[in-house]
Structure 1
Amino acid sequence: MTGAVDSFFATDFNQKTISNMMHKVRSGLDSKRDGDNERYKFLLEFIGVTLFNIQNNPTSFDERCIMNIASLGSRFIEEIRGFDLSEESALHLFAYCYRFIIEYQISSPNAISSELLDVLARVSDFEYGAAASQVRYAGHQMLINVVQHYLYHPSLVSLKNLPEVIQRSETERGHAEKSIIDREARVNALAEKLETYETAFNFVGLYSGFKSLKAAKVSERRWNFFFLLVLGAMLLSPVMVKFFSLVSAPVQKEPDLVGFAALAGLELLILYFFRVTLQNFRSIKAQLLQIDLRMTLCQFVQSYAEYSRSAPDGSKGLLERFEQVVFSGIVNDESAIPSTFDGLDKLAELVGKIRK
């Protein structure tokens, strides 16, 4: 109840002082013969038994004699050091020892030693003169003071408030559990949001990739359209030049077959490249259409992810078409684009016929 108690009797100095006093008491008892002053012999015997128990159990006396140690501990040690074996000095020291033994007996949970009980039983057999008031105080008022000291000790007061403390702790525990549950719910909600953000972030990256690809394809389509216009103009230019040259030139008897053959070959060659460029332009438009479709599908991918988690096990192939569209490769339709040497065999046959 008292917690950590400061050492008093257990200190080396006080232990040595008490040990020296024990030798004085023994010598005083040895010097008295039977029949000599019985009260004085009892005083020395009481002091000797008390100091013997204190010397053997200093920690126990430190813990159980708190009140008297605080009120007269220092004076008690001074009395021991100044003891001169006189009866008056023995009366004063006896009164102090009696107070310590009474408090020790009250504070002990078990019975004290039989030697202490024997000397306590003989206290009422004698008169103590100047020390009588101390003996009466130790037997009456001091008992009340000791009980008050322990009854209203801060630790015991706290013990009386234990039911209230327990109730308060239960209330606090309920609040703490409720707070923990609320925090756990918030953490779970944040975890769900974080998972949503993670999924959305992943598909935002996919959308960004499609967007970059679309920008590249738009630029490619722009340049392809420009080359298409150039090739169209080149396809018409030789014909227009040849036509105006024929109109403005004098009439010839023989047609310019070599010029017409060269013009036809040039037109066929330009037409071939125009066709390749046109087919590539159509392929780029098809690719842009596919990219736009994928970008549109990525806009509601979060709802798709939630539906995928909640879909029953029996509907595993339900969303395969969606995945095929989003995650499949972009079709270039290269099979429809003529290769560079397509039609050269026909052109070679035509040139051979012209030479013949």
Structure 2
Amino acid sequence: MKVLFETNQSKTVLAKFKHKIDGLVPSDDFEKQRNSLIRLVVSAMENRPEEWDKLCQINTKWIGDQFINRLSDEEKKLSKERLDDICSMCFRFLFELYLSIKNDLSMEFEAARRFVFKNVDSFESDAKEQIEYAIRDMPINILKSIANSDSIESIKDFNAVSSKAEMLKNEWEKDLLAREERVNKLKDSLSKYENGFNFVGLYQGFDDLAKVKSVERNNILFWLKVLSVLVVFPVLAELVIIYKNIDNISAIKDGLIVSIFPSLSLVAIVIYYFRVLLFNYKSVKSQLLQIDLRKTLCRFIQHYSEYSSAIKKQDSESLAKFENIIFSGLVTEDGNLPSTYDGVEQIAKLIKSVKS
């Protein structure tokens, strides 16, 4: 949209010319009403420039610059011919405003329009031609200009634009469907990866626990070997002493009899702790076996859950056995663990049997 009346230059020109019109002394009633029309239009352009720019685009393009130049020309006198010419231009803008609005003109503008219609012959020849053009031909030219504008051309090409829009819509829908399909595939893949990583984490936890239990088993096995040596050590020591003193056995007889009781006590204590360690060793082996079972279940449970869900239609109990095994505690079977007093009682019985 071309802007004419909203510029600072145009506002200044309109204000100055309005003061010039106010200083004129009309010679008759025609000049008085003509000058009033000019002042009315110029004052309206000064007060509401955006409205005149918007509603008078045709004449703004055709005679807008010429109109401002006529008003700003201070070298020429405001003769009747010049004022008539300016009045005809004001009438063209006023008439286009009248054609552009939905409602009727205000009373002042309507009176000014009727004044021009009634007094066409009173204007100078050039101004008269402009007024007659505005009345007869300008509406048709305005309509022609509007009909050939880009906006109307767009309306004319509505069918083509509509078809193109429909094609674009179909292409976008196909593209969206393809993208949606890809997103769903990615979603399924990510879901599988998520489940897989969950079971991998669970498997890793059991694997770490298995390493701890393996170290514990190896330590127990080491002490079992040590206690196995300690069990036979007193007997071997006695045999070595007897072997070295076989020729003088009577000399060490009393010493052997005295040392037999501490040796037997030591053997009994070692055997007791050997039993305790042996039970712990079996318990740790049992726990390792249970951990290996859990690790094995973690490898196939994802497919098992999918199969179970499909078969049992989302049965809430489909994974109950798996969860009972996976999340249950490790069984140690501590019911068979010998108490400390069991060993003491065995030693007491041994001493009583020897004394008797």
Q: Is 1:250 matched with 2:247? A: yes
Partner of 2:200: 204
1:64 to 55, 67, 79: 55
2:67 to 61, 76, 85: 76
User: Per the alignment, in what secondary structure is the counterpart of residue 54 of structure 2?
Assistant: helix
Partner of 1:48: 36
Deviation at 1:132, TM superposition (A): 5.7
Deviation at 1:296, TM superposition (A): 0.6
Alpha-carbon distance between aligned partners in 1 of 2:147 and 2:3, rounded to the nearest angstrom: 18
Partner of 1:7: 5
- Percentage of matched positions with identical amino acids: 30
User: Where in structure 2 are the equivalents of 1:1-356 lying within 5 Å?
Assistant: 5-8=3-6, 12-24=11-23, 27-28=25-26, 31-32=27-28, 42=30, 45-46=33-34, 48-56=36-44, 58-59=48-49, 60-80=51-71, 82=74, 84=77, 86-109=79-102, 114-122=110-118, 125=121, 128-129=124-125, 131=127, 134=130, 138=134, 145-248=141-244, 249-250=246-247, 252=249, 256-307=256-307, 310=310, 312=312, 315-355=315-355
| Amino acid aligned to 1:289 | L
Aligned length: 343
CA contact under 8 A between 2:309 and 2:318: conserved in structure 1?
Answer: no
| Amino acid aligned to 1:215 | K
Alpha-carbon distance between aligned partners in 1 of 2:239 and 2:7, rounded to the nearest angstrom: 137
Q: Provide the TM-score with structure 2 as the length reference.
A: 0.76
CA contact under 8 A between 1:64 and 1:103: conserved in structure 2?
Answer: yes
| Amino acid aligned to 1:275 | R
User: Per the alignment, in what secondary structure is the counterpart of residue 331 of structure 2?
Assistant: coil
Partner of 1:35: none
Partner of 1:36: none
| Amino acid aligned to 1:48 | S
Relative to structure 1, is the Cα distance of residues 186 and 262 closer, same or farther in structure 2, using a 3 angstrom cutoff? same
Alpha-carbon distance between aligned partners in 2 of 1:207 and 1:143, rounded to the nearest angstrom: 88
User: Per the alignment, in what secondary structure is the counterpart of residue 340 of structure 2?
Assistant: coil
| Amino acid aligned to 2:15 | K
Q: RMSD between aligned alpha carbons?
A: 3.8
Deviation at 1:44, TM superposition (A): 5.8
User: Per the alignment, in what secondary structure is the counterpart of residue 299 of structure 1?
Assistant: helix
Alpha-carbon distance between aligned partners in 2 of 1:208 and 1:9, rounded to the nearest angstrom: 78
| Amino acid aligned to 2:83 | A
Relative to structure 1, is the Cα distance of residues 231 and 171 closer, same or farther in structure 2, using a 3 angstrom cutoff? same
- 46-55 vs 216-225, which moves further: 46-55
State the Cα deviation string for residues 297-328 of structure 1 (Å, max 9, x = none): 11123224435655647954443222211111
User: Per the alignment, in what secondary structure is the counterpart of residue 342 of structure 1?
Assistant: helix
CA contact under 8 A between 1:276 and 1:338: conserved in structure 2?
Answer: yes
Deviation at 1:293, TM superposition (A): 0.6
CA contact under 8 A between 1:50 and 1:101: conserved in structure 2?
Answer: no
CA contact under 8 A between 1:8 and 1:62: conserved in structure 2?
Answer: yes
Deviation at 1:290, TM superposition (A): 0.9
State the Cα deviation string for residues 186-206 of structure 1 (Å, max 9, x = none): 444444444443433333222
Q: Provide the TM-score with structure 1 as the length reference.
A: 0.76
Alpha-carbon distance between aligned partners in 1 of 2:183 and 2:323, rounded to the nearest angstrom: 32
| Amino acid aligned to 1:76 | F
Deviation at 1:154, TM superposition (A): 3.2
Alpha-carbon distance between aligned partners in 2 of 1:168 and 1:119, rounded to the nearest angstrom: 52
Alpha-carbon distance between aligned partners in 2 of 1:61 and 1:259, rounded to the nearest angstrom: 132
Alpha-carbon distance between aligned partners in 2 of 1:43 and 1:68, rounded to the nearest angstrom: 24
Any stretches of 5+ residues in structure 1 without a counterpart? 33-40
CA contact under 8 A between 2:4 and 2:64: conserved in structure 1?
Answer: no
Deviation at 1:121, TM superposition (A): 3.0
Alpha-carbon distance between aligned partners in 2 of 1:276 and 1:98, rounded to the nearest angstrom: 121
State the Cα deviation string for residues 45-96 of structure 1 (Å, max 9, x = none): 4453354245347554433332333443344345446574533333433443
Alpha-carbon distance between aligned partners in 1 of 2:278 and 2:89, rounded to the nearest angstrom: 124
Alpha-carbon distance between aligned partners in 1 of 2:146 and 2:99, rounded to the nearest angstrom: 10
Relative to structure 1, is the Cα distance of residues 93 and 116 closer, same or farther in structure 2, using a 3 angstrom cutoff? same
Any stretches of 5+ residues in structure 2 without a counterpart? none
State the Cα deviation string for residues 273-304 of structure 1 (Å, max 9, x = none): 32222222222211111111111111123224
CA contact under 8 A between 1:24 and 1:85: conserved in structure 2?
Answer: no
Relative to structure 1, is the Cα distance of residues 321 and 91 closer, same or farther in structure 2, using a 3 angstrom cutoff? closer
Deviation at 1:208, TM superposition (A): 1.5
